[in-house]
Amino acid sequence: MSALQRFLLRWSMSLKVSALDRKLLRDVWRLKGQTLAISVVVAAGIALLVGTYGCLAALQASKDVFYERTSFADVWASVKRAPNSMHDKLAQIPGIATVETRIVADATLDIADMIDPARGRIISVKEGEIPLLNQFDLLAGRLVQYGRPNEILISDAFAKAHKLGLGDTLSANIYGKKRKLEIVGIALTPEYVYALAPGQIMPDDKRFGILWMGYEALSAAYDLEESFNSVTATLLHGAVEADVLQRLDILLKPYGGVGAYGRKDQISDFFLTNELAQLASSGAVAPPIFLGVAAFLLNIVISRLVATEREQIGLLKAFGYTDWDVGWQYTKLVAIVVGFGLALGLWGGVWFGQGMTSMYTTYFKFPVLEYRVNAGVFASAAIVTVIAGIIGGVSAVRQAIKLSPAVAMAPPVPTSFNKSKFSIWFERFHISQPTRMIFRHVTRWPLRTAMTVAGISFSVALLIASFFFMDSVGKVIQVYFYQAERQTLTVSFVEPRGAEVEESILRLPGVLATQPVRTVSARLRHGPYTKRSAVNGLVKSADMNRLLGADEKPLDPPDGGIALSEHIAKELHVQVGDMITVEVLQERRPVIEVPVTQVVKQYLGFSTYMHISELNRLMHEGPTVTGIHVLADSRYINDLYTKLKNTPMVAGVAQTEASLRGFQDTMDQTMYVMIGFYIAFSSLIAFGVAYNSARIALSERARSLASLRVLGFTRQEVAYILLGELGVQTLLALPVGCLFGYGLAYAMSPMLKTDMYDFPFIINDPTYGFSVMVVAIAAAICAVLVRRRVYNLDLISVLKTRE
């Protein structure tokens, strides 16, 4: 008896615990390995539930509070240039509560600690005032003042990424003029909680920052005096957003309006909402799986316990304990096991939730984002635990209740076996008796074997479904960065330029090749379906930015038609050959009908493509570009950056490698962390199922195995019989698990599709291999643990007692 057991015994005596309860405590102690395995699986499910929903609640609360407090806008619109006098007309649109006009412009920034240029989004503010809508939190410093045109506020994340503080300066290339700007304040805005630069796929705090500048200074810099180019507004309660958007478009059309949009197309809110939805769906999928497995384990362990204790149960009933007294004992056993799992899971869930929440703080910039213990989440965790306990325990407890004392006390009839069709084979191939025992046990209880196989294969499946995310991400990276976007960088211009600009870029140091691109904002329409998208004009035989067909082979942009990303084609319900309406949302806003001539494969940043000269013709313009893709020699890249930073017409430089790095970092920090958790939890399931199965087999067959030892079988030979069964079950489970895994991954893959990403359903062979290996290792570890028990079988006491 260990010191702990002695302590528990004394403690239970001092509490005047009934004999029955003492038996219960000892049962729990005796079965500690098995009950702990179940508790841990319960805990895994609860931890996922509490962590995920707690984090979701934290994000939701932070978002709601931040939006509410800062008057986050409901609608946005951009124009080329509209006079400030339009403001009042806009305010009169029915349904609009508050409207605010401002200037929003992009500039390249030259930061001392970085060679390549960063991109800045500059928003105008009235000097000395906080905006009416999308109010920022001033975290440090003060507002910009009238008459000091070089004062700016910068976003907190950008300041932190470059260790910029109050009084520091940075230089900006604003509309062709180099300006030295002084930081007077640090701010945080609801508009850029998720700060994604145009054309990028992941936020990059080092390369994209938000700046606020006084209206007078910014309007002067951009030749927008007494004018604005951006509108934001909040809506009255009950206003119909679509009506307001339509009226905005009509009013702003003469001023070069680029189409108004609501929150669902506002980049930051779009990502935030998407993330919340994804979190909610992953929180709804994983915990039930774990709790289901826990219920399953609970069922097999408690059922076997009742079966082995049938004599004791009979005795208790013979002594005068009621059926319910006995049932209650086993109910308490279930309660202890799941209760411990719940406690462990709540503790683990808080820890997991904190980790997850702090991970989100790196991507979503809120003033406060803290995981808080949430009573509602805890309560639902407790409820689902109770449900799992009931599902797992009810049949076993009922067995105990229904056992009649006379039946229970009679020795159990020896399990009967029948000669199966295998028997002939056994003889023919001279199969040894131990091997026959393994096969007869596996086939004698097909349901139990099937359950164990199902349990183990489920963990294989869960692993495959977790690893599959990595395969999918790997595929996206391979296609997007190595086949579709092969340029070193993309230069974008403040305004559309003549095609001759390509020549001047080509002459810059280190530039090996260039490829022009013309991008316009458009609304695509097909019957009742509409979609806002950029239309990109590409050249033929492009080497850098390429279209890929369904077979991932490069395609040329269509002649006289339009190519749609698969995702957009699906949303618009169109196929190759259908006609769609393209309403360009800028310049002269032409509207044309074009045939869809290609559907292209894209996993990231869905877009629409035409031949560049077609697009220019549509826009009634000569050869025009908005950007140039550049292939550069890495040896001269610093010179190239320096040149670009000082080139007036450049509004931004996007580096492919930086965005690949950003993408990979994000995956490492978010997805892979989550996947790591899932892998750990899946291994726990494999272990829990295999361990319980082997322990039950051991307790049922200790006598047989001890007899064999007495007959002169070595410990290894006896262990072979017991563990051979586990081995056969595991071997059966591995291929079944691979099949399940394929199905599970397939079922989960739509969860990964958003308006921004389309992670493909792809499972690489190593994923199957890894998953099988992890489970095989988990099974091997339990085999080693159980083998120790086989080695220590007490030969004498086992043989002296009747079963």
Partner 1 sequence: MQMTQTQRSQVAAPIETFRAEALTKVYPGETPVHALRGVDLEMYEGELAVLLGPSGSGKSTLLNILGGLDQPTAGHFYFRGRDVTKFDQEELTQYRRDNVGFVFQFYNLIPSLTARENVALVTEIAQHPMTPDEALQMVGLGHRLDHFPAQLSGGEQQRVAIARAIAKRPSVLLCDEPTGALDSKTGIVVLQAIVRANQELGTTTAVITHNAVMAAMADRVIRFADGNISSIERNTTKLKPEDLSW
Residue type, 241: E
528 is a site residue for partner 1 (CB under 8 A): no
Tell me whether residue 437 or residue 779 sits nearer to partner 1 (CB atom): 437
Distance between CA 215 and CA 241 in Å, rounded? 28
802 is a site residue for partner 1 (CB under 8 A): yes
CB of residue 784 to partner 1, shortest distance in Å: 18
Q: Beta-carbon neighbour count of residue 206 at 10 Å? A: 17
Distance between CA 238 and CA 162 in Å, rounded? 44
- Interaction with partner 1 in 737-756: which residues (CB under 8 A)? none
Distance between CA 94 and CA 400 in Å, rounded? 71
Tell me whether residue 486 or residue 703 sits nearer to partner 1 (CB atom): 703
User: What is the per-residue DSSP string for 390-445?
Assistant: HHHHHHHHHHHHH--HHHHHSPPPPPP----THHHHHHHTT--HHHHHHHHHHHHS
- Binding partner 1 (rule: CB under 8 A), the pick from 16, 421, 428, 800 is 800
Measured in degrees and rounded to the nearest 5, phi and psi for residue 584 equal: -70, 140
Contact indicator for 444, 721 with CB cutoff of 8 Å: no
Tell me whether residue 49 or residue 437 sits nearer to partner 1 (CB atom): 437
726 is a site residue for partner 1 (CB under 8 A): no
102 is a site residue for partner 1 (CB under 8 A): no
Tell me whether residue 81 or residue 715 sits nearer to partner 1 (CB atom): 715
Residue whose pair of structure tokens reads 């949430």 in the numeric block:
374
- Binding partner 1 (rule: CB under 8 A), the pick from 19, 418, 421, 541 is 418
CB of residue 796 to partner 1, shortest distance in Å: 6
Tell me whether residue 446 or residue 766 sits nearer to partner 1 (CB atom): 446
Number of residues that bind partner 1 (CB under 8 A): 35
- Interaction with partner 1 in 433-462: which residues (CB under 8 A)? 433-434, 436-437, 440-441, 444
Tell me whether residue 100 or residue 725 sits nearer to partner 1 (CB atom): 725
Distance between CA 566 and CA 570 in Å, rounded? 6
CB of residue 314 to partner 1, shortest distance in Å: 19
Tell me whether residue 773 or residue 795 sits nearer to partner 1 (CB atom): 795
Who's near 152: CB < 8 A, 6+ residues apart?
122, 144, 181, 182, 183, 184, 211, 212, 213
717 is a site residue for partner 1 (CB under 8 A): yes
Contact indicator for 54, 374 with CB cutoff of 8 Å: yes
733 is a site residue for partner 1 (CB under 8 A): no
Q: Which stretch binds partner 1 (CB under 8 A): 248-256, 319-327, 432-440, 509-517?
A: 432-440
Tell me whether residue 418 or residue 541 sits nearer to partner 1 (CB atom): 418
Tell me whether residue 431 or residue 762 sits nearer to partner 1 (CB atom): 431
644 is a site residue for partner 1 (CB under 8 A): no
- Binding partner 1 (rule: CB under 8 A), the pick from 16, 163, 237, 419 is 419
Tell me whether residue 437 or residue 555 sits nearer to partner 1 (CB atom): 437
User: What is the per-residue DSSP string for 272-336?
Assistant: HHHHHHHHHHHHHHHHHHHHHHHHHHHHHHHHHHHHHTHHHHHHHHHHT--HHHHHHHHHHHHHH
Measured in degrees and rounded to the nearest 5, phi and psi for residue 190 equal: -70, -20
- Interaction with partner 1 in 681-710: which residues (CB under 8 A)? 703-704, 706-710
CB of residue 408 to partner 1, shortest distance in Å: 19
CB of residue 371 to partner 1, shortest distance in Å: 52
796 is a site residue for partner 1 (CB under 8 A): yes
648 is a site residue for partner 1 (CB under 8 A): no
Contact indicator for 686, 459 with CB cutoff of 8 Å: yes
712 is a site residue for partner 1 (CB under 8 A): yes
570 is a site residue for partner 1 (CB under 8 A): no
Distance between CA 413 and CA 442 in Å, rounded? 20
Residue whose pair of structure tokens reads 């958007």 in the numeric block:
245
Residue whose pair of structure tokens reads 């998720």 in the numeric block:
194
Residue type, 363: Y
415 is a site residue for partner 1 (CB under 8 A): yes
Tell me whether residue 406 or residue 799 sits nearer to partner 1 (CB atom): 799
Distance between CA 419 and CA 637 in Å, rounded? 78
- Binding partner 1 (rule: CB under 8 A), the pick from 226, 237, 711, 765 is 711
DSSP3 helix / strand / coil % (the chain, rounded to 5): 55, 20, 25
541 is a site residue for partner 1 (CB under 8 A): no
The per-type count for the chain, helices as H runs and strands as E runs, is: 24, 22
Tell me whether residue 358 or residue 797 sits nearer to partner 1 (CB atom): 797
428 is a site residue for partner 1 (CB under 8 A): no
Binding site for partner 1 (CB under 8 A): 413-419, 432-434, 436-437, 440-441, 444, 703-704, 706-715, 717, 795-796, 799-803
